[in-house]
Amino acid sequence: YENGTYSAFDLAQKAYLGKSLAEIADAQQQEKIERTDWKKQELQAQLDLMSDIQAIADGSERTMPDRSNISRQIQRNRSTARKQESVSLMD
């Protein structure tokens, strides 16, 4: 209402068509509650996922290479490589 004239307006959402202001307020409040519930569920799902990932990581076997025989293995590999080189040079 401005200067004695009324201005028509359009509803932002057709879902509110034919409803009273109180019904619209209730519907908006319900939508807000539902959004909050979804956010809580999404957060809980993320926490559950992190927990599952952590459980998998904790349960996985951490393997370290056996370094006790590493020098012997290196020597053996060098010896084998030298033999292969000498054989290939003879061919």
Q: Give the per-residue pLDDT at 15.
A: 81
Q: Give the per-residue pLDDT at 37.
A: 96
Q: Give the per-residue pLDDT at 7.
A: 72
**CA nearest neighbour of 51 among 39, 63, 59:** 59
What whole-number percentage of the chain has pLDDT above 70?
Answer: 88
Give yes or no for residue 77 having a pLDDT over 70: yes
Residues 28-44: what's their mean pLDDT? 96
Give yes or no for residue 2 having a pLDDT over 70: no
Distances (CA, A) of 58 to 5, 8, 54, 55, 64: 72, 64, 6, 5, 16
Q: Give the per-residue pLDDT at 16.
A: 80
Give yes or no for residue 64 having a pLDDT over 80: no
Q: Measured between alpha carbons, how far is 26 from 33 in angstroms, rounded to an integer?
A: 11
The greatest distance separating any two alpha carbons of the chain, rounded to the nearest whole angstrom, comes to 112
Q: For the purposes of burial, counting CB atoms within 10 Å of the CB of 16, is it exposed (0-12), middle (13-18) or buried (19 or more)?
A: middle
Instruction: Write down the domain spans for the chain.
Output: 1-59
Q: Give the per-residue pLDDT at 11.
A: 67
